[in-house]
C-alpha cells in the first residue's frame, strides 16, 4: 500500500500498549483487594468483580464495605485529622508534592490500569487523565504551601467523605483528594464500583509518599456504601455523579450540618456560529462528545448550529465521524473506546432506540465484535423539547438543532435544567464574549471544549450542582472560617394586649414588586413591645405571597445587568436615607426589643450599607493562568434570585446584612423579616421606596418563617436560599432546595455576631456570587 493509499483510506496498523506491567501489579496484589484504612489494606472480603469492558475479562475482585468498614475508615480519618492539620502548610505541601512525583513516576502503569478498568482509549488516559491528576497534586501542593500566608482565617473542615464516579476514576480522585488534603482535611473516599483499581494503586502510592496513616482512607463498594459514608460522622460530603443521586444526598444531609458540594450531570450546549472556523469546530466536537465515549459530565452533547452554516457543518461532521476509529482501548491509534459496563451500554442503546425524532447518522466505522462498544452517533433536526435534547445520555451520542440569531442560540442553550458548561465557536470575539455572560453555566470555552485545569474552578449551576473544584475558588469547599461559634438563642415574640395603636389600626404591609401589598391570606398579627404595649400589626405572608415575590424578583432581571457603580450609588443612597431617619429607627428597635441598643444597630446598619456599596464595584474576578494557549477568566456573577430568612435578633441589621451583599452583587432578594420583631423591616420599606431601588429587586415578607421557609426553598425560580432563622429551618431549607438543587447557606442553629465581623465580609460576597470560568484563546 502506498502512502497516498494510506492517506485516502486512513488505514492504520495497530499500536497496542503493553498491559504486562499492569497485569503484574494486579497479580502482585493477589487480584483481590480489601479497603485501605488507617494506612494499610484490610483483608479482602466478600465483594464484586471488576471487569475489562472491552473483553469482559475479570481483572480483580473488590470488597463490598460493611458499616463496620466505613466506621473504621471514618474513625481513622477523625483520629488522623488534627495532626495532619497541625503538620502545617509546608509539611502538607511536601507530602502532596511527593504524591505528585510518584504519580508521575508511575504514570504509564496508572494509564494502562485505567484503560483496562474503564475502557477509555490509552491516548486519553495517558495524555489527559493521568497528567491532569498529577497537575492537581502539584497545584495543590502549592495551595497547601500558601494556605497559612494567603488564607490566614481559614481552617480545615475535618473529615471529608468523597464519592466519585467511573468516568474519570483517577482524575476525580485527584480533584477530590488534593484540595481536601492541602487544606488540612482527612478523607474517606469511595470510588465507583465499576472502576476502583486506580484508587487501589493510589493507596499504594500514598504509602510510598509517606502520607500519615489515616489521612487517606479508601473503601470500595456500590451505592449502599456511598449512603453509609453520607450518613457517617463526616464534616463534608463531596460528590460527583448523577443528578438523581446528588438530589438524594442533598436530602439525606439536610439539617445535619455537613458541608456539601455536588458536581452533577449536564447537557452542555456546543454553539457554532456561521462565522466559526467550521473545520476547527468539527474537530472540537470530536473532543466534546467522543472524548471518553461521551461519558463526560461536561460533554458538548447538544449541538446548536447557526442555520446558514448548518448543511455544510453537518456534512463535514458526518465525514469526520465516519473516520473515527473504534477498537481496543489499549491501541494507541484508536479514537473511541468502550463504554464502562454492559449496563451503561444498555442505557445508551435504550435511550437512542426509544427516540423516533430527527435524523440519525451512525458513524460508518467498524464496530469490534465484542465489548461494550457503541458507535459515534449524530441525531439532527430535533426539537428543543425532545427527550434526547433534554436528558443526559452519557454516551457517544450527539443531538442537534439549528438557530437563527445569537439571541435564539442563548435561549436554546439555556433551555435545560442543567448548567454545567458550554462551548462557543465564532471568529468574532465580540460575538463570543457577548454570548458568554448570557449562558447559565459554570464554564464557557470559547473556540475550544472540555478544557480543564487545576487552576480554574470547575462546576455548574442549576441541576448540575454547586461548588467549584480547582482554583482559589475551589478551596472554599474544603475550609471554613476560624473561630468557634456559639449556639443560637432562639427569641420569642413579646406578648401583650390591645388591638389598635393610638386608636388607629396600623398594619404594616408586605413589599412585593416595588409596591406595598396586602397579604394574600388577609391576616395580620399584633406586635408587642417588651412591656406588653401594642406597637402595630405585621402582615402574615403565605406561600402565595412567596410566589408573587419570586415572580417580582424574576421580573427584575435587569438589576443583574447593571454596573457595580450604579449598584454602589443606590446602596449609598439607601444608607443616606436610613441615616436621615436614624432616630426614628433607633426608637422603633428599642420599643420592639426593649433595651437601648437601637441607635447602635442603626449606626452599624448604615456602616454595613457603606461596606457593600464599597464592594459593589470591587469584588473582582480573576484571570487564571492555565497551561494552554489561553487564559481562564473567572468572572463573579450574581447567583440570581436569593431567598433569605433573616435573623430574629438584630431585626434591622440582620435584614440589611442579608440584603446588601446580595443586591450589591446584582442579585434580587426575597427577605423574610425577623419574626418576633418585624416592624423595623416594614419601616425600612419606606427607605427603599425613596432610594431608587428598582421594583422587584428587594421584596420583604413578614410572618412566621416556618411557613415561608419551605415554599421559598422549594421554589424552582429561586436560585439560592439562606437561613439565619431558627435551627429547625436549616433542615427545611436544605431539604426543600433539592427540587432544583439550589445553593443553600444555613446557620445550623449557630449564632452569628451581626454587630461584628461575623455579620459581613467574604462569606457573604461568596454566597452572593457564582464563579464562571470563561476560557479564551490568548497569546501564543
Determine the longest span between alpha carbons in the chain, in angstroms: 104
Contact call for residue 163 and ligand NAI (CB under 6 A): yes
C-alpha to C-alpha distance for 431 and 425, rounded to whole angstroms: 9
Q: Which residue has the cell 440582620?
A: 654
C-alpha to C-alpha distance for 616 and 630, rounded to whole angstroms: 28
Q: How far is the CB of 218 from ligand NAI (least distance, A)?
A: 12
By C-beta, is 230 or 650 nearer to ligand NAI?
230
C-alpha to C-alpha distance for 427 and 419, rounded to whole angstroms: 24
By C-beta, is 73 or 164 nearer to ligand NAI?
164
Question: How many residues bind ligand NAI, per CB under 6 A?
Answer: 25
Of these, 81, 134, 145, 167, which contacts ligand NAI (CB under 6 A)?
167
| Rg of the chain over all Cα atoms, to the nearest angstrom | 28
The residue range among 220-228, 711-719, 746-754, 761-769 that interacts with ligand NAI, by the rule CB under 6 A, is 220-228
524 to each of 1, 530, 536, 724, how far by Cα in Å? 89, 19, 10, 23
What are the contacts of 711-714 at 24+ separation with CB within 8 A?
A: 711/543, 711/546, 711/547, 711/736, 712/546, 712/550, 712/643, 712/645, 712/670, 712/672, 712/736, 713/643, 713/737, 713/739, 713/742, 713/744, 714/739
Q: How far is the CB of 415 from ligand NAI (least distance, A)?
A: 19
Active site residue 689: no
Q: How far is the CB of 166 from ligand NAI (least distance, A)?
A: 6
Of these, 230, 254, 399, 655, which contacts ligand NAI (CB under 6 A)?
230
C-alpha to C-alpha distance for 487 and 464, rounded to whole angstroms: 33
Task: Please count the other Cβ atoms lying within 10 Å of the Cβ belonging to residue 61.
Answer: 16
C-alpha to C-alpha distance for 349 and 100, rounded to whole angstroms: 39
Contact call for residue 165 and ligand NAI (CB under 6 A): yes
Q: What nine digits make up the cell of 481?
A: 472560617
Contact call for residue 469 and ligand NAI (CB under 6 A): no
Please work out, in degrees rounded to the nearest 5, the angle formed at the alpha carbon of residue 283 by the alpha carbons of 359 and 355: 20
C-alpha to C-alpha distance for 160 and 158, rounded to whole angstroms: 6
Contact call for residue 394 and ligand NAI (CB under 6 A): yes
Of these, 17, 69, 117, 193, which contacts ligand NAI (CB under 6 A)?
193
Is residue 758 packed enough to be buried (19+ CB in 10 Å), middle (13-18) or exposed (0-12)?
middle
The residue range among 97-105, 159-167, 551-559, 717-725 that interacts with ligand NAI, by the rule CB under 6 A, is 159-167
Contact call for residue 227 and ligand NAI (CB under 6 A): yes
Virtual torsion, Cα 585, 591, 595, 597, nearest 10 deg: -10
Name residues contacting ligand NAI, limited to 90-109 (CB under 6 A): none
Q: What nine digits make up the cell of 21?
A: 506491567
Of these, 241, 376, 647, 661, which contacts ligand NAI (CB under 6 A)?
241
Strand partners, 501: 504
Contact call for residue 223 and ligand NAI (CB under 6 A): yes
Q: How far is the CB of 235 from ligand NAI (least distance, A)?
A: 17
By C-beta, is 265 or 711 nearer to ligand NAI?
265
Q: How far is the CB of 399 from ligand NAI (least distance, A)?
A: 14
Contact call for residue 377 and ligand NAI (CB under 6 A): no
Binding-site string for ligand NAI from residue 596 to residue 615, where x marks contact by CB under 6 A and - marks none: --------------------
Virtual torsion, Cα 85, 86, 89, 95, nearest 10 deg: -70
By C-beta, is 351 or 582 nearer to ligand NAI?
351
Of these, 53, 265, 419, 474, which contacts ligand NAI (CB under 6 A)?
265
- What is the torsional sign of CA 53, 55, 60, 66? positive
| CB distance 433 to 446 below 8 Å | yes
Q: How far is the CB of 258 from ligand NAI (least distance, A)?
A: 13
Contact call for residue 408 and ligand NAI (CB under 6 A): no
Q: Which residues are CB-neighbours of 23 under 8 A, at least 6 positions away? A: none
Of these, 240, 605, 622, 682, which contacts ligand NAI (CB under 6 A)?
240
Is residue 245 packed enough to be buried (19+ CB in 10 Å), middle (13-18) or exposed (0-12)?
buried
By C-beta, is 77 or 432 nearer to ligand NAI?
77
Contact call for residue 392 and ligand NAI (CB under 6 A): yes
By C-beta, is 192 or 720 nearer to ligand NAI?
192
The residue range among 157-165, 328-336, 518-526, 584-592 that interacts with ligand NAI, by the rule CB under 6 A, is 157-165
By C-beta, is 288 or 688 nearer to ligand NAI?
288
Task: Write phi, then psi, for 250 (nearest 5 degrees).
Answer: -60, -45
- Beta strand residue intervals within 179-291, DSSP E: 186-190, 216-218, 236-240, 259-263, 269-272
By C-beta, is 165 or 471 nearer to ligand NAI?
165
Q: How far is the CB of 153 from ligand NAI (least distance, A)?
A: 32
The residue range among 241-249, 428-436, 534-542, 548-556 that interacts with ligand NAI, by the rule CB under 6 A, is 241-249
By C-beta, is 392 or 719 nearer to ligand NAI?
392
Q: How far is the CB of 338 from ligand NAI (least distance, A)?
A: 15
Instruction: Name the region of 241 (left: φ>0; alpha: ψ -120 to 50; beta: rest).
Output: left
Task: Write phi, then psi, for 612 (nearest 5 degrees).
Answer: -80, -25
Of these, 38, 222, 584, 590, which contacts ligand NAI (CB under 6 A)?
222
Residue 456: helix, strand or coil by DSSP?
coil
Name residues contacting ligand NAI, limited to 17-56 (CB under 6 A): none
C-alpha to C-alpha distance for 496 and 531, rounded to whole angstroms: 8
Name residues contacting ligand NAI, limited to 281-300 (CB under 6 A): 297
Q: What nine digits make up the cell of 567?
A: 449598584
Q: How far is the CB of 386 from ligand NAI (least distance, A)?
A: 17
By C-beta, is 201 or 245 nearer to ligand NAI?
245
Strand partners, 771: 636
Of these, 245, 435, 441, 642, which contacts ligand NAI (CB under 6 A)?
245
Of these, 54, 59, 178, 192, which contacts ligand NAI (CB under 6 A)?
192
C-alpha to C-alpha distance for 686 and 143, rounded to whole angstroms: 47
Q: How far is the CB of 123 from ligand NAI (least distance, A)?
A: 21
Active-site annotation holder among 263, 392, 675, 734: 263
Q: How far is the CB of 341 from ligand NAI (least distance, A)?
A: 8
Contact call for residue 73 and ligand NAI (CB under 6 A): no
What's 726's DSSP letter?
A: -
- 199-211 in b/e form (b: 16+ CB < 10 A) is bbbbbbbbeebeb
The residue range among 150-158, 161-169, 507-515, 716-724 that interacts with ligand NAI, by the rule CB under 6 A, is 161-169
Of these, 55, 66, 347, 507, which contacts ligand NAI (CB under 6 A)?
347
Of these, 226, 284, 536, 643, which contacts ligand NAI (CB under 6 A)?
226
By C-beta, is 337 or 678 nearer to ligand NAI?
337
- 154-183 in b/e form (b: 16+ CB < 10 A) is bbbbbbbbbbbbbbbbbbbbbbbbbbbbbb
Contact call for residue 632 and ligand NAI (CB under 6 A): no
Q: How far is the CB of 5 from ligand NAI (least distance, A)?
A: 41
Report which of 80, 709, 245 is spatially closest to residue 237, judged by C-alpha positions: 245
By C-beta, is 392 or 734 nearer to ligand NAI?
392
C-alpha to C-alpha distance for 187 and 217, rounded to whole angstroms: 6
Q: Which residue is nearest to ligand NAI (CB)?
A: 226
Residues that bind ligand NAI (CB under 6 A): 163-167, 190, 192-193, 222-223, 226-227, 230, 240-242, 245, 248-249, 264-265, 297, 347, 392, 394
- Tell me the catalytic residues: 263
Amino acid at each position: 500500500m502506498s502512502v497516498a493509499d494510506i492517506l485516502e483510506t486512513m488505514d492504520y496498523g495497530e499500536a497496542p500498549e503493553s498491559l504486562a506491567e499492569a497485569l503484574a501489579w494486579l497479580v502482585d496484589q493477589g487480584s483481590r483487594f480489601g479497603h485501605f484504612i488507617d494506612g494499610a489494606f484490610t483483608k479482602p472480603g466478600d465483594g464484586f468483580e471488576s471487569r475489562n469492558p472491552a473483553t469482559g475479562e475479570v481483572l480483580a475482585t473488590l470488597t463490598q464495605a460493611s458499616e463496620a468498614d466505613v466506621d473504621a475508615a471514618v474513625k481513622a480519618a477523625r483520629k488522623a485529622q488534627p495532626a495532619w492539620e497541625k503538620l502545617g502548610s509546608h509539611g502538607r505541601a511536601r507530602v502532596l508534592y511527593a504524591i505528585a512525583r510518584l504519580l508521575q513516576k508511575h504514570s504509564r502503569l496508572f494509564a494502562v490500569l485505567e484503560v483496562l478498568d474503564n475502557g477509555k482509549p490509552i491516548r486519553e488516559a495517558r495524555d489527559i487523565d493521568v497528567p491532569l491528576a498529577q497537575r492537581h497534586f502539584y497545584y495543590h501542593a502549592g495551595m497547601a504551601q500558601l494556605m497559612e500566608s494567603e488564607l490566614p482565617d481559614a481552617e480545615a473542615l475535618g473529615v471529608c467523605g468523597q464519592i466519585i464516579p467511573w468516568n474519570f476514576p483517577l482524575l476525580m480522585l485527584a480533584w477530590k483528594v488534593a484540595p481536601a488534603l492541602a487544606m488540612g482535611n482527612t478523607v474517606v473516599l469511595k470510588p465507583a464500583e465499576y472502576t476502583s483499581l486506580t484508587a487501589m494503586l493510589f493507596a499504594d502510592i500514598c504509602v510510598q509518599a509517606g502520607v500519615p496513616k489515616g489521612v487517606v482512607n479508601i473503601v470500595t463498594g456500590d451505592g449502599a456504601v456511598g449512603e453509609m459514608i453520607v450518613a457517617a460522622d463526616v464534616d463534608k460530603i463531596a460528590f460527583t455523579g448523577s443528578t438523581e443521586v446528588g438530589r438524594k444526598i442533598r436530602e439525606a444531609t439536610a439539617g445535619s450540618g455537613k458541608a456539601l458540594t455536588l458536581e452533577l450531570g449536564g447537557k452542555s450546549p456546543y454553539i457554532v456560529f456561521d462565522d466559526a472556523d467550521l473545520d476547527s469546530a468539527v474537530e472540537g466536537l470530536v473532543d466534546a462528545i467522543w472524548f471518553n465515549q461521551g461519558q463526560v459530565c461536561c460533554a458538548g452533547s447538544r449541538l446548536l448550529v447557526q442555520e446558514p452554516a448548518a448543511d455544510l457543518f453537518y456534512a463535514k461532521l458526518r465525514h469526520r465521524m465516519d473516520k473515527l476509529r473504534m477498537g481496543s482501548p489499549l491501541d494507541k491509534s484508536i479514537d473511541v473506546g468502550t463504554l464502562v459496563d454492559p449496563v451503561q451500554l444498555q442505557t445508551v442503546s435504550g435511550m437512542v432506540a426509544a427516540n423516533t425524532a430527527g435524523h440519525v447518522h451512525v458513524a460508518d466505522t467498524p464496530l469490534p465484535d465484542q465489548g461494550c462498544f457503541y458507535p459515534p452517533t449524530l441525531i439532527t433536526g430535533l426539537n428543543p423539547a425532545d427527550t434526547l435534547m433534554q436528558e443526559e445520555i452519557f454516551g457517544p451520542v450527539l443531538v442537534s438543532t439549528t438557530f437563527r440569531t445569537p439571541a435564539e442560540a442563548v435561549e436554546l442553550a439555556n433551555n435545560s435544567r442543567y448548567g454545567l458548561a458550554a462551548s462557543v465557536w465564532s471568529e468574532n470575539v465580540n460575538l463570543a464574549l457577548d454570548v458568554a455572560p448570557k449562558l447559565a453555566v459554570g464554564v464557557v470555552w470559547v473556540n475550544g471544549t472540555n478544557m480543564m485545569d487545576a487552576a480554574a474552578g470547575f462546576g455548574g449551576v442549576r441541576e448540575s450542582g454547586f461548588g467549584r473544584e480547582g482554583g482559589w475558588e475551589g478551596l472554599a469547599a474544603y475550609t471554613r472560617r476560624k473561630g468557634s461559634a456559639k449556639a443560637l438563642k432562639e427569641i420569642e415574640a413579646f406578648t401583650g394586649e390591645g388591638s389598635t395603636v393610638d386608636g388607629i389600626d396600623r398594619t404594616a404591609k408586605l413589599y412585593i414588586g416595588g409596591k406595598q401589598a396586602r397579604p394574600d391570606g388577609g391576616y395580620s398579627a399584633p406586635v408587642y413591645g417588651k412591656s406588653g404595649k401594642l406597637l402595630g400589626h405585621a402582615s402574615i405572608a403565605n406561600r402565595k405571597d412567596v410566589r408573587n415575590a419570586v415572580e417580582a424578583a424574576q421580573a427584575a432581571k435587569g438589576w443583574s445587568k447593571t454596573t457595580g457603580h450604579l449598584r454602589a450609588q443606590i446602596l449609598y443612597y439607601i444608607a443616606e436615607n436610613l441615616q436621615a431617619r436614624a432616630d426614628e429607627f433607633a426608637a422603633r428597635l428599642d420599643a420592639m426589643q426593649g433595651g437601648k441598643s437601637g441607635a447602635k444597630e442603626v449606626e452599624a446598619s448604615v456602616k454595613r450599607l457603606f461596606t457593600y456599596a464599597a464592594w459593589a464595584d470591587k469584588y473582582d474576578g480573576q484571570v487564571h493562568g492555565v497551561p494552554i494557549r489561553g487564559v481562564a477568566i473567572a468572572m463573579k456573577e450574581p447567583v440570581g434570585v436569593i431567598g433569605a430568612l433573616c435573623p430574629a435578633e438584630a431585626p434591622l441589621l440582620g435584614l440589611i446584612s442579608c440584603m446588601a451583599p446580595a443586591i450589591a452583587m446584582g442579585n434580587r432578594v426575597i427577605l423574610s423579616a425577623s419574626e418576633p420583631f418585624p416592624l423595623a423591616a416594614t419601616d425600612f420599606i419606606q427607605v427603599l421606596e425613596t432610594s431608587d431601588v428598582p421594583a422587584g429587586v428587594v421584596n420583604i415578607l413578614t410572618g412566621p418563617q416556618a411557613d415561608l421557609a419551605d415554599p421559598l426553598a422549594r421554589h424552582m425560580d429561586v436560585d439560592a436560599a439562606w437561613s439565619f432563622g431558627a435551627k429547625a429551618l436549616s433542615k427545611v431549607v436544605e431539604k426543600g432546595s433539592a427540587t432544583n438543587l439550589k445553593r443553600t447557606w444555613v446557620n445550623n442553629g449557630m449564632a452569628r455576631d451581626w454587630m461584628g465581623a461575623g455579620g459581613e465580609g467574604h462569606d457573604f460576597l461568596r454566597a452572593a456570587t457564582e464563579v464562571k470560568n470563561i476560557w479564551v484563546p490568548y497569546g501564543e
